[in-house]
Amino acid sequence: MSNETKNEVISKDLMTIPNAISFIRILLITPFVAFFIQRMYVAAAITVGISGLSDLFDGWIARKFHQESELGKVLDPLADKLTLIAVGVCLIFIEPYVLPLMIIMVLKDVLMIIGGTIVINQGVIPPKSSWYGKLSTFMFYISVGMVVLMAIFGYVNKPLSLTVLGITAAMMIFSLVNYAIIFFKIQKQVKNKEKNKPVQAGITENK
């Protein structure tokens, strides 16, 4: 394939509806934080709601209309992580008991970024987001949305909040464990591939 053809393919991959949605989700973080700082909680909740709903649609659009791309595999989880971190940090200021969930989420994301970086450096394309990853993200939106709504209406029910946040934290841990299993499977495959490589000088393995 010529360089011109490669550049054409890359440009087409960049110009997809799912990638545009992911960019918009990243841009929505700024107005959300601005609304939250000004205590415009309803506007902040609507902004997060729009971001969350768009997250559900971009993956479906990518699969339905064959618009999956390498950039999308990076943008989609990046938009998730940046949005969740922004929401979590803002919530800590009004409901400090959200902090343990934030610690779990940040730890999960940091470990996943490290694992993804290792896999990419090994020449392996990271797997797509799985259902448990999407579910843990959805649960996070539900739990923090509930906390925000209770703050808006002045209704405090910590046992209920802690229960929902606990379920969300458990889902995040479940997600991390499953991604860890996938990571170690990839590492095993990489090691097996390296063992099977010819050792003679100048010989490379073609597959």
Summarize pLDDT for 34-81 with one digit per residue, the tens: 999 998 888 888 898 888 888 777 777 877 777 777 777 778 878 888
Average pLDDT, the chain: 79
Contact 148, 44 (CB under 8 A): yes
CATH number, residue 67: 1.20.120.1760
In a domain, residue 39? The reply is yes
Enclosing domain of residue 43: 3-191
Smallest CA-to-CA distance from 81 within 43, 54, 60, 110 is with: 110
Average pLDDT over residues 22-29: 92
- Residue 196 counted as domain residue: no
pLDDT of residue 31: 95
Span of 7-16, 47-56, 119-128 with lowest mean pLDDT: 7-16
Q: Where is pLDDT greater, at 1 or 81?
A: 81
Read off the pTM: 0.67
For residue 10, name the pLDDT band (cuts at 50, 70, 90).
Answer: very low
**Domain count for the chain:** 1
Least confident of 123-127, 131-135, 162-166, 172-176: 123-127
Using H for helix, E for strand and C for coil, what is the string for the chain? CCHHHHHHHHHHHHCCHHHHHHHHHHHCHHHHHHHHHCCCHHHHHHHHHHHHHHHHHHHHHHHHCCCCCHHHHHHHHHHHHHHHHHHHHHHHHHCHHHHHHHHHHHHHHHHHHHHHHHHHHCCCCCCCCCHHHHHHHHHHHHHHHHHHHHHHHCCCCHHHHHHHHHHHHHHHHHHHHHHHHHHHHHHHHHHHHHHCCCCCCCCCCCC
201 lies in some domain = no
**Does residue 200 form part of some domain?**
no
